[in-house]
Amino acid sequence: MPVLGALPAEALSTDLVADYREGAFLFAAPSGVLLAEGERAVLRSPAEAVAVLERDEIVVGAVPFDPSAPSRLVIPRTVRRGAPLTTRPRPSVSARWLSQHTDAEAYRDGVRRALELMAGGALRKVVLARRLDLVAAEPVDVTELVAALAARDPRGHTFAAPLDGRTLVGTSPELLIRRTGRLVLSNPLAGSRPRSEDPVLDGRHATELLGSAKDRREHELVVSAVADALAPFCRELTVPTQPELLPTRSMWHLSTRVSGVLADADTTALELATALHPTPAVCGAPTERARRVIADLEPFDRGYYTGVVGWSNAQGDGEWVVTIRCGEVAGPNLRLYAGAGLVPGSDPDAELAETGAKLRTFLGALGVEEPA
């Protein structure tokens, strides 16, 4: 879908990732690349942004995990668009890392406590996250980091969004919603295995994932929730009965592409994103119960991690992805996040290993290893 073709833009650039500089907004997706610079207005909620879309051309930015918390959405001064990413040279990040801190043991304990809560039956799934903090000898070059992430997985959704005093960066595999005219698409992911450079082992991981009853249950919860959230907005909705395998550089994922036709052409991409967020892929089920468990068990505020990031234009078209495989940069400090979906039968060591595999999306771009 040539979604970005509807955007008002300057002349096409051949490499907008190379043109990106810290402070701009970048969204590099399989549908195309968008680079927005400058700020005509800063908006603090999706509802405010939807109202502004009636008279302004485009809104870009990020919405946090907690929908009631302030968003960081911007009406930019200039917008450029480009073709989808292709395979590109892999630049290195020149930062010299001085220290790393992981909360691995605390994460295992949190998983055990969550499984105890599930035993009573009031909670079907919860997604618990952990952090990995790195400190460099000098401010991290965000431009280098974004280029490295984009080169590592050009089929993903690489983003950079300025926050207040820091930058949200990452490469998300999960499309929350894409709207082009009346056509909508959501691609929920749940259930995963790590990739391997050994093709035999890599194939074994993929086969295990596709046949895993535990991962299938987790995936079905997410797909059902996405379909239920989209159904009131659509006159047609197609939900495949079986998931597919979606490969990224670091992970195999169970994937289902849910597509539909809007009943009302005035329903915007940002309104749909708000209706879908947060899905059980990043929160759990039932949603409110899972949100309370997350608040009790995670020893940090997620902020924009597992929120949404993307853009919408004046016609209501747009693209928003789930803010995963990401981190926040502030000077020499880099905080990374990764989570795993827990259902009855989950194993604390296996879930910790899954978060470690997901962190490799980012750590591979940095050229560093996760601490034991």
Handedness of CA 105, 125, 355, 191 (dihedral sign): positive
State the catalytic residues. 125, 174
Say how many C-beta atoms besides its own lie within 10 A of residue 151's C-beta. 18
Backbone angles phi, psi at 332, to 5 degrees: -85, 0
pLDDT, position 95: 83
Q: Is-contact 290 126, C-beta < 8 A?
A: yes
pLDDT, average across residues 351-358:
93
d(C-alpha 254, C-alpha 205), whole Å: 12
Spatial neighbors of 362 by CB under 8 A, at least 6 apart, are 149, 170, 171, 325, 326, 327, 336
pLDDT tens per residue across span 292-349: 999 999 999 999 999 999 999 999 999 999 999 999 999 999 999 999 999 988 999 9
Q: Is-contact 251 24, C-beta < 8 A?
A: no
Element housing 349 (H / E):
helix 348-366
244's tokens: 């597919």
SS3 136: strand
Q: Compute CA 110 distance to the chain's CA centroid, rounded to the nearest angstrom.
A: 22
Element housing 118 (H / E):
helix 104-118
pLDDT, average across residues 170-183:
97
% pLDDT > 70, the chain = 94
Question: Does position 12 have pLDDT exceeding 70, yes or no?
Answer: no
pLDDT tens per residue across span 25-63: 999 998 899 999 999 999 999 999 988 877 768 999 999
SS3 313: strand
Q: Angle between the 269-276 and 213-230 helix axes, to the nearest 10 degrees?
A: 130
Q: What is the mean pLDDT of the chain?
A: 90
Q: Is-contact 344 115, C-beta < 8 A?
A: yes
Element housing 244 (H / E):
strand 244-247
pLDDT, average across residues 204-228:
94
d(C-alpha 298, C-alpha 15), whole Å: 39
Least trusted range by pLDDT, from 70-74, 104-108, 300-304:
104-108
Do strands 58-63 and 251-255 pair parallel, antiparallel, or not at all (unpaired)? unpaired
pLDDT, position 3: 36
- Under the banding of pLDDT at 50, 70 and 90, the label for residue 173 is very high
Domains and CATH numbers, the chain: 3-87+97-366 (3.60.120.10)
Residue 237: burial class (beta carbons within 10 Å; 0-12, 13-18, 19+): middle
Identity of the residue numbered 102: T
Identity of the residue numbered 224: S
